[in-house]
Structure 1
Amino acid sequence: MNAEVEAGDVLSKTINRIKKDIFVYGPALLIPALLNLFSTSVYTRIFSPDSYGDYALLLSTALLMTTLVSQWMQQSVQRYRPLYKSRDELGDFNAKLRNVLVAIMLLVLAIGAAAYPLVKAYSNLTTAVYVCILLLIATQTLYLVCSAVLQSDLNSKTYRKVNIAGAVLKLGLALLFIYALYKNTLSIFIALIATNLIVLIPMLRLTVLSRKEKATERASLGGTLAFAKQFAFYGFPMVGWFLGNSLLNLCDRYIIGFFYSSREVGIYIANYSIVTSSIGLICSPLLTAAHPLFMNAASQSGVTTKQFEKLITMFSKVLLLFTIPIVGFVTVYRYEICRILLGEAYTEGALLIPLALVSVLLWNLSMYGHKGYEVREKTRWMLVFVLTSAVVNTVLNFILVPPLGYLGAAIAAIGGTFTYCFLVHINSKRFIAWRLPWVSIAKAAGTTAVMAALLLLVKEFFDGGIWAQLIVGGLLAAPIYAAGLIVTKEIDLKRIAPLAKKRANKKVLERGLE
């Protein structure tokens, strides 16, 4: 009985901490997402679809390489650092992690130098671009691992400051270099590297170079190798998972380029960037705050499987209730959104926005569904699922892209992400069951359909320009959706009213005491 009470207290504290960290992580993710959205809007007006397509494809490739190098360390840091902390061995953890990072950086540079003659012989990459990509992989790896340490330590305030500073610097330096150095996409790569170097100075001092936690034993070669082996055993299946994730996001771009040209790639990636940045405004703060706290709760004894199941279901429900109406709104106003954010040259791909949104929503939903696999350290299953999804996505791309172009790629992406979501769901009962809130989904979908139909009617009879259409639609969408949830009793006013009254009375009492 005491164990159940203690476990309940752990989960209650976890939920309360998540609520708090959403607001702390929120600015750290919302501001960069908004700036990414703005930067996409700026770059698509500076560069043609062809130039933007070449740049985006190179950046995606660099990030794929970064995934191979860094993700096994990121996942392992968040899994094992809490255990070292519980044993008061953070100093030893830092010392061993430093050794691993130094070895990885040297390996990256050595492989990059050895591969240069081959890349030079079989591609049209300039030396400057190749060096930039290599440096971006190295600096981004350090940045991501240090970020994982900050998140694991629940140091959300520092994480927020670094993320916001980095987002501002990336855009500011990119525009400065574009207009002061080179008016081409090389300037963006230089800005990304410069930003990483600047923000890494305080990050390294606060994480792996921290002197606050001193090592109780010297990080010997044998100790470091054992540490790296532990990381690799847990993390390398996750590398495969993130590689599969990258293939889900990348193969369509290469296939579009193969059958068509950089122009179509540029239109496709630009419209997809709108979606990933926008949906990140909702999904990223919630998931970023939840993940390290899930992992910390997993290290506590007494937390039952059913309690974890309820926690996962709760976050799945919150995500769906917030994002399903966005799909409906974006479907109605896709052309207006595309024209405002990207410009006239990219509006032919406006239909990509709602299609991409469905794909991204399914993917973000599955991030909660597979938490049970992570907690039970069954990451190999996740690897099998994501590779299966990548194969489905690739096959669908080869079938649909030749006749449909980038629209075929967007449909294939939905097929791939749905496959992953489906596999995670039906197999989760083996570990921690992912129970989807089907009744809430049905209510949200039905309400969204009504909302979209009403918005289409308003759009048909009201013609006040693009901005006016969006503003009127936005003002109408929220109350229509909220009213629908109240009518379907998804929102229970009888429960909300007493809580609101209690909170108001508490504020009045606090003011009186002052």
Structure 2
Amino acid sequence: MGKFKSLASDTLVYGGSTILVRLLNWLLMPYYIRTMSEVQYGIVTQVYGYIAILLVVLTYGFETSFFRFSNTKNHKNVFTTALTSIGSTSLLFVVFVYLYKDGLVQFFGKGFSSPLVLMIALIVAVDAVSAIIFAKLRYQGKSIRFGLLKLVNVTLLISLNLYFLYWCPMHLESEYCVVFNGLNIADNQAFYVLLSNLAASGIVLLIISSDVFNKLGTLDFRLLLQMYKYSYPILIVGITGMINIQIDKILIPKLIGGEEGLRQLAIYGANFKIGVLMAMFTQSFRLAFEPFFFKDRRETANEALYNDILKYFVLFGLLIFLGVTFFMDIINIVLTAEYETGNIVIPIVLVSQLLSGVYFTLSVWYKITDKTIYGAYMGIVGSIITIGLNILLIPLLGYVGAAIAGLVCFLVMVFLSIYWGNKNWALRYKWRSLLTYSAIAGVMYFLAIFITPYLSAKVVAINSTGFYILKYIVRLSLIIVFLWLVYYKEFKKKLT
């Protein structure tokens, strides 16, 4: 129980900072959709899809590798070796992009330019180097410093966005307005969004570098080869995992084409961000869970511990799902009428995010047993499913098809992890209670979305104040019932 409480405490600390940072970052979305055209916001969404995939490529699994070898080797040497490797490859990547930027512009397609492509390369390089330094902070348990630095980053990001997209257009003649020659703000909003990102990330990198480079160890080439050998399957896992999450943002414009493709991507991207609460929860859990299970490898057979971790992760995830879907009308305040048409994908995205978290929790078996190649196998299968279903469904269903593809992908990957995990690890998860809770949440979702509006309309006029009050009272009551059932089964019944 002590270890579980330790994980819960770390999750709370990382979660608090992660939720705050991502919420602040998330607040840019309502601002973007009100100040940008759908085409420009579509470009921004597509760009960050590329950035997410490229960042995984440039870190090539060395965050996980750092945790793995820091517990068996001199952690200073491990950090120095990882930092040198990632720094070198990041520099080579920037040089490559600079030399071939014109060809890359043609590859990326509509809305891209040479300055935009260079900005993408610089952001990915800076973030890759920062990632391994932040991994060291996590390993050292410096969760407060980790959170504060992330908060500084997002504060700078928001401030610079407001400077370029709000202040400068109103003060173009001011000496304090920095606008790049030939890149007016109105037609290049995506570029200035990326410029804000690069500046914020660069400043934070300078801050965290101040207390890192005076504590370096020795570059160990033998260790480097061991880290590469361990991490290359994780690289495949990372790339395929990010493809499963981001490839839809890349394929929607290409499969639909033209400005309509970017417009649909903008709507999909904005509604995808509504699922940020589930993403924030899974991310904060991941930040705490990965160092936890590597530090406690000796406890890998503690079946009760890992069952509790998975169970409470799923329960919190189901609660988030119910909360977001039940009160969608309130959340829609951040969207405009044009973007609300994409609400249909939000429940699908939430379930997909929850399944991705379940898959990550299950993936402990192949990381601890050093059988990371299985992670690569599952990632490849998932990517084949994602890409195939996206190509098949997007032309038929638009962005709804993209959401369905992600859901099917993560569902299959969870089943594969259960199957191979049972063959390669002694731990057995108790699925009956998880499936029961999931079924209860599913029934409550059906009642709330399809039944309560109908019943409320029988009592009061549709769209009246009384209609919404009654509807939300019923939905809140359903959540309370769900919480009571969990409390009764997990706590009260055990105490008595």
Count residues in correspondence: 464
Deviation at 1:468, TM superposition (A): 5.7
Secondary structure at 2:162's aligned position in 1? Answer: helix
- The aligned residue for residue 147 of structure 2 is 160
Deviation at 1:152, TM superposition (A): 1.6
Deviations 1:157-204 (A, max 9, x none): 211111122122222221222122534121210111111111112322
How large is the RMSD of aligned CA atoms in angstroms?
2.6
2:119 touches 2:194 (CA, 8 Å); kept in 1?
A: yes
- The aligned residue for residue 189 of structure 1 is 194
Question: TM-score, normalised to structure 2's length?
Answer: 0.86
Amino acid at match of 2:392: I
1:320 touches 1:441 (CA, 8 Å); kept in 2?
A: no
Distance 1:230 1:50, change over 3 A: same
Match 2:115 to one of 128, 143, 155: 128
Deviation at 1:331, TM superposition (A): 4.0
Amino acid at match of 1:449: V
- The aligned residue for residue 420 of structure 2 is 427
Distance 1:27 1:288 in 2: 12
- The aligned residue for residue 178 of structure 1 is 165
Amino acid at match of 2:238: F
- The aligned residue for residue 478 of structure 1 is 479
Deviation at 1:337, TM superposition (A): 5.0
For structure 1, the residue ranges without an aligned partner over 5 or more in a row are 1-11, 498-514
Deviations 1:188-234 (A, max 9, x none): 10111111111112322333x143xx64xx54xxx3x2232122111
Distance 1:409 1:101 in 2: 32
- The aligned residue for residue 125 of structure 2 is 138
Match 1:106 to one of 79, 87, 91: 91
- The aligned residue for residue 361 of structure 2 is 368
Distance 1:366 1:347 in 2: 30
Distance 1:264 1:32 in 2: 27
- The aligned residue for residue 116 of structure 1 is 101
Amino acid at match of 1:192: N
Report sequence identity in percent: 19
1:490 correspondence with 2:486: no
Amino acid at match of 2:23: L
For structure 2, the residue ranges without an aligned partner over 5 or more in a row are 169-178, 180-184
Deviations 1:414-457 (A, max 9, x none): 11111111100111013334514322431342255246525755
Deviation at 1:259, TM superposition (A): 3.1
Deviation at 1:147, TM superposition (A): 1.1
Distance 1:106 1:283 in 2: 31
Deviation at 1:482, TM superposition (A): 1.7
- The aligned residue for residue 272 of structure 2 is 272
Deviations 1:6-33 (A, max 9, x none): xxxxxx5432321221222122211012
1:271 touches 1:352 (CA, 8 Å); kept in 2?
A: yes
1:49 correspondence with 2:38: yes
Question: TM-score, normalised to structure 1's length?
Answer: 0.83
Deviations 1:215-267 (A, max 9, x none): 4xx54xxx3x2232122111111111111112212332333223321111111
Deviation at 1:52, TM superposition (A): 0.9
- The aligned residue for residue 79 of structure 1 is 68
Amino acid at match of 2:98: A
1:249 correspondence with 2:249: no
- The aligned residue for residue 262 of structure 2 is 262
- The aligned residue for residue 440 of structure 2 is 446
2:444 touches 2:478 (CA, 8 Å); kept in 1?
A: no
Amino acid at match of 1:75: T
Amino acid at match of 2:398: G
Match 1:29 to one of 9, 12, 18: 18
Distance 1:477 1:405 in 2: 33
1:62 correspondence with 2:51: yes
1:294 correspondence with 2:293: yes
Distance 1:194 1:454, change over 3 A: closer
Amino acid at match of 2:199: A
Q: Which region of structure 1 is more displaced relative to structure 2, 442-451 or 197-206?
A: 442-451
- The aligned residue for residue 396 of structure 2 is 403
Distance 2:75 2:238 in 1: 27
Distance 1:176 1:235 in 2: 40
Deviation at 1:470, TM superposition (A): 8.5
Distance 1:162 1:271, change over 3 A: same
Distance 1:271 1:402, change over 3 A: same
Distance 2:262 2:243 in 1: 19
1:237 touches 1:383 (CA, 8 Å); kept in 2?
A: yes
Amino acid at match of 1:306: A
Secondary structure at 2:384's aligned position in 1? Answer: helix
Deviation at 1:68, TM superposition (A): 0.3
